[in-house]
Each structure stands twice: as C-alpha cells, then as structure tokens.
Amino acid sequence: MTSTPASSATAADYGWIRSAPSLFGHLLSTGYSMVLVRDVLPEQVPGLVGASPWGSCRGAGELVDAHGDFLEECDDDPESTLLGASAVRDAEGRDWALVVDLGGDLGLRPGPMAALSAGTRAVAHYSNAGKPMDFFHWYEDGELRTAFEHPAHRDGTTPDELNGVLRELGLDPDGDGDPALDRKAAVLALTERLTGVRVTVELLEAAEYLASELPEEPVDGSDGVRIHLVDEHGAPVVIESTWDR
C-alpha cells in the first residue's frame, strides 16, 4: 500500500461496535458515513464539502442530541444531513479530521470526497439504515483508488492494491470469506490500516465535534426528479425522470 502508517488492527479490535452503547451504535441504527481525512482541520470540512455551520458539540451525547433537534426542525423529512467533524491523530502523531455524517451518504459522493482528499488521503465507510448496504471507499489525491461493498467485487483505479490486507483481515477478495466474520468490524480495521487512527468508544464519546449541515446533492435543472442510488460496488446510479409543466 502507498505510504500506509503501520497498524496491525484486526476485526477483533472493533468487536465493541456491536455491544458497547456508543455513538457508533446510534450510527448503525440510523445510517451514517464516517470519513477520515489526513492533514485537514475540522473547520475546513464544511467549505470543502459545501456544508453550512451548525454549531459545536462537546462529546457524542451533544452530537446525538443536535441530530435529534436537526430532524425535529426538518419534521423528520430532511433535505440535508448533519455532519460532525473532530480532530484526531494517528499512531505517528499526524493530524486527521474524523467526519461523521449522521444519516447521510458523504462517503458515497464523488465530488465532496474528491475535494476532501485533494493532495491527501481520505478513507470512508458507510451504512444505510434498514436493509443494510455497507460500502468502503479509499481516495488518494482526489482519486478513488479502491471501493467495494462485497470485497470480491471492487472498483477504483487500483482495485487490487489492498488485496493482501483484505486477506489478512478475512475479507476474501476472491470469494465469500469467513461467514462468521463481522465484516463491519473488519472494515473499521481496514480503515485503521490505511490511516493509523484507531476509532474507540472513548474517542467518539469525548471528541468535540464541529457540526454543519450538508444539503442533498443538487439536481441540475428544474424539470425533473433525480433519484440517487448506488450499485453493488458503491458507484452512483442516477435515474432521471422529466415531465412537461
């Protein structure tokens, strides 16, 4: 892998995501994107992705409460999502921004992800609520290097570069892999392998989050409806309908 910080993280290091009451448990129930961006400050995130400042939240509890207030203001039918960005460091002491999109799809948006990763690295994982779809995206200098939902079906400019690490983590790039493996935990371990940042309950609970409002992706023109979907590899699929007014 290209200039990857040393990490020996495994899925077992993230077993807490299914049991510990935490911000991550909330995210799994509501849907989320989580993005780690190297050498980017939390206050830079809104400008890079086109979000509007919302306020600051001291700790995960305040962020969850802010998300509830946000949904209430939107009558539970939001046309935007709430981001929380906090400053974290990797094992080598390098600065990263941890960006949480509550209920949103930031990690699936090529434009914002390219902007976040310009001149640096960004790694994202995503889950929707309800019937789960889970995606992983690795960007380097604005370029999508590797993306997948199922590890055996990968996209990006270097879809096979992570294969060795995928095998080490039990995410078989050639087949079904271990059915007993918690693939979400393994994806968090993969993210740590690429970033050197270990996400823990304590980190999420104690962080100070700069909150901002991220609108849905704009629709060009005013004579149609555009529905944003993703295929099994995490690539965007756009279904567009037009009508006469």
- Tens of pLDDT, residue by residue over 70-87, are 888 876 667 889 999 999
Instruction: Establish if 77 belongs to a structural domain.
Output: yes
Q: Is the pLDDT of residue 2 over 60?
A: no
Q: Which pLDDT score, from 0 to 100, does residue 243 have?
A: 30
Note whether 120 and 38 are within 8 A (CB): yes
The b/e string for 55-65 (b: 16+ C-beta within 10 A; e otherwise) is: eebebbebbbe
Is the pLDDT at 241 greater than 80? The verdict is no
Number of domains in the chain: 1
User: Is 21 inside a domain boundary?
Assistant: yes
- Could you tell me if residue 222 is inside a domain? no
Assign 236 a pLDDT band (cuts: 50, 70, 90): low
Q: How many residues are given for the chain?
A: 245
Cβ 181 vs Cβ 18: under 8 Å: no
Confidence class for position 25, pLDDT limits 50, 70, 90: confident
* Average pLDDT value for residue range 31-36: 96
Asked if the model's pLDDT at residue 227 lies above 50, the reply is no
Question: 97 in a domain, yes or no?
Answer: yes
Query: Which class for 44: exposed (0-12), middle (13-18), buried (19 or more C-beta within 10 A)?
Result: middle
- The verdict on residue 156 lying in a domain is yes
What confidence tier does 217 reach under pLDDT thresholds 50, 70, 90? Answer: confident
Residue 228 has pLDDT above 70, yes or no: no
User: What is the rounded distance in angstroms from the CA atom of residue 205 to the CA atom of residue 64?
Assistant: 10
Residue 3's alpha-carbon distances to 15, 38, 51, 166, in angstroms, are 27, 12, 30, 17
Whole domain around residue 146: which residue ranges? Answer: 11-217
- Evaluate whether residue 201 is within a structural domain: yes
Answer whether residue 237 is part of any domain. Answer: no
Tell me whether residue 242 is in a domain. no
